[in-house]
Amino acid sequence: DAAYRSGVRAQLQAADILVVDQPETTVEPEGLTKAAYRHENPDDFLHANAEYGRLSMSGVLACAALFDR
């Protein structure tokens, strides 16, 4: 997982594409999203919960601030 992400990140950076990472505090050592941030519906494996969204948006807004010049 880490090697794949690193390779993809390098390609995106070479194309000058900004990447907003999943918040480190939401990731298990194996690379999966921690149970505390998973969607309330146990059948929904594609989405996370509202707290995850809050943490993620903090990262998005921090990156957006880089362009507010």
Q: Which of 26, 7, 19, 20 is nearest to 57 (CA)?
A: 20
Who contacts 13 (Cβ-Cβ below 8 Å, separation ≥6)?
19
pLDDT tens-digit map of 44-60? 999 999 999 999 999 99
More reliable by pLDDT, 14 or 5: 14
Q: Which of 42, 21, 41, 18 is nearest to 31 (CA)?
A: 21
pTM of structure: 0.76
Cα separation, 17 vs 63, whole angstroms: 12
Instruction: Name all contacts of 50-53 with Cβ < 8 Å and 24+ positions apart.
Output: 52/23, 52/26
pLDDT tens-digit map of 10-68? 999 999 998 898 999 999 998 889 999 999 999 999 999 999 999 999 999 988 888 86
